[in-house]
Amino acid sequence: MKTKWFKGSSDLFQKTQRRLTMQYSGLLMLFLVLFIVVVYTLLYVVILRDQHRELENLTRQETRIISDYLADSARDELQGLGSQELVLAGVDQFFYYVTNAEGTFVTGSETMPHMREELFELVSGWVPEKNQIREETLQVTFDERRIGGREIKDVPKSDTVRLMIDGSPIFYNGQFVGMIYIGKDISFAYQLFKWLLIVLVSLAVLFAGVAVWMSYLMSKKAMGPISTAFQRQKEFVGDASHELRTPLSVMLSSIDAMEMTDGIEEDPFAKKLLRNMKSEVKRMTGLVSDLLVLARADSGAAERTLEQLDVRAEAANVIESLTPHAESNGVSLGLEAPGDLLVLGDRARVKQLMYILLDNAVKYSPDGGLVEMKLSQSDRYWTMAVSDQGIGIHPDDQPRIFDRFFRSDKSRTRTVGGHGLGLSIAKWIAGIHGGTITVESEPDKGSTFIVQIPNEQAVST
């Protein structure tokens, strides 16, 4: 025989704690994502703006150099201007081109001379509006890549280059003589954005882990006092039920003794009072013992003792002891089962489960009704189905009948006893065996309660 202790309703707390953890970590992650978006956007804007400013300064400077050069050499046109006459050495400058007033190429230079045609095509005829700066993406080949006339070897065959292009008109004595275009390589900035994103996302993943861990700790802390209070309340219910049992049994034996007292037989009023008292005390004893079962289940003090049992024999036994009660209500009981049905289970609990379902079936059956228990077994499960031809359960009530103290209105108006705890206990018993209990029912036609329990029981060591 193996015994397993059950934690009972700690499930509810675990679920709540999980939900709290998820909510806390969701909130933390939201802040994290917001932070990343803000940091990334800020850096993006600041870096690009800085490149803008640099390019604008460079263009302004070069325009002044050319204008000064024209003024110094008293030339009114750019034609014949050689690149050696200009000092153009901006950092990351990819190209510069000077055109005359008609837009024809005059002079220029670029880091990739083999791409001049393509690059000039980009700016040819472009008249920028005030402060307008263009951004272009260019696929470049590196076969002839030179920097300062020096050829660079061992570089990739092609790459994507991001260019920022600015243009400015050149004037001589207030007369428009041409344009200067400068292209700046800002690929490194985009490279930086890419790395920044990778670093930020990696940090986010790391912090997400920390956020979940912190949320777990926070939710655990938040749940602490609640679960302690709940634990105390469960202990109170358990203690109260336990303490009530003794006086109730004393009362019951006192009523029995009074019933046997001389003279009571002759006094119909006293007899009736005693009978009522006895039935109420019995009802209360049932309620207290059900409460005690559930309180123990909640507090984890309920134990499950597993042993090999023949479910068929147990069912026959329960039916036999319930037959007089069923017959007095005009209900007949039937059992359909295979030869023997050996399973591992807690004998007392399994029998209690059978009692609850059969007792309900009888309680809610009309006079002349038939209540049947069917047992069966498959490779993995054994099944018990208890069906009746009684009042049935309204579909709205079906999901609630396993709740504590739930009784349908129909049941309340009937004179049948009960306090709405039987099915909660049945569900708990099925649960501690790793099984389930479900109901199929149609109002005024009848109900079938189906319990399905695995043949093999996981036994804790």
- By the criterion CB under 6 A, which residues form the site for ligand ADP? 360-361, 364, 388, 390-393, 401, 406-408, 411, 418-424, 447
Nearer to ligand ADP, 238 or 418 (CB): 418
CB of 455 to ligand ADP, least distance (A): 26
- Write down the least CB distance from residue 438 to ligand ADP, Å: 13
Least distance to ligand ADP, CB of residue 371, Å:
8
Contact status, residue 441 vs residue 447, Cβ threshold 8 Å: yes
Q: Which is nearer to ligand ADP, 178 or 422 (CB)?
A: 422
CB 409, min distance to ligand ADP, A:
8
Measured from the CB of residue 284, what is the shortest distance to ligand ADP in angstroms? 13
Tell me which amino acid residue 80 is: G
CA distances from 94 to 90, 144, 177, 382 (A): 9, 14, 24, 81
Among candidate residues 135, 134, 164, 167, the one with its CA nearest the CA of residue 66: 167
Output the six-digit token pair for 284: 């209360």
Residues in the chain: 461
How many beta carbons lie within 10 A of that of residue 144, not counting itself?
Answer: 11
DSSP 67-80: HHHHHHTT-S--TT
Q: Name which of 168 and 424 has its Cβ closer to ligand ADP.
A: 424
- 242-279 per-residue burial string, b: 16 or more CB within 10 A, e: under 16: eebeeebeebbeebeeeeeeeeeeeeeeeeeebeebbe
Residue number with CB closer to ligand ADP (162 or 349): 349
> For residue 366, what is the DSSP state?
P
Query: Contact 421/287 with Cβ under 8 angstroms?
Result: yes
Strands 332-336, 370-377: pairing is: parallel
Task: Tell me how far, at minimum, the Cβ of 364 lies from ligand ADP, in Å.
Answer: 3
Nearer to ligand ADP, 178 or 435 (CB): 435
Q: Which is nearer to ligand ADP, 112 or 393 (CB)?
A: 393
CB 164 within 8 A of CB 135: yes
The values of phi and psi at residue 263, to 5°, are 95, -25
172/364 with CB nearer ligand ADP:
364
Q: How far is the CB of 352 from ligand ADP (least distance, A)?
A: 12
Give the count of alpha carbons within 13 A of 184, CB side only.
26
With the CA atoms of 212, 214, 217 and 220 taken in that order, what torsion angle do they form, in degrees rounded to the nearest 10?
-60
Contacts of residue 359, Cβ cutoff 8 Å, sequence gap at least 6: 322, 325, 422
- Which of 94, 113, 96 shows the shortest CA–CA distance to 161? 94
Q: How far is the CB of 398 from ligand ADP (least distance, A)?
A: 9
CB of residue 283 to ligand ADP, shortest distance in Å: 10
Q: How far is the CB of 29 from ligand ADP (least distance, A)?
A: 43
Closer Cβ to ligand ADP, 242 or 419, answer by number: 419
Residue with the two structure tokens 């993006």 = 44
Cβ burial 81-93 (10 Å sphere, 16+ → b, else e): beeeebebebebb
Q: Cβ closer to ligand ADP: 28 or 331?
A: 331
Q: Which is nearer to ligand ADP, 178 or 418 (CB)?
A: 418
- Using CB positions, name the residue nearest to ligand ADP: 418
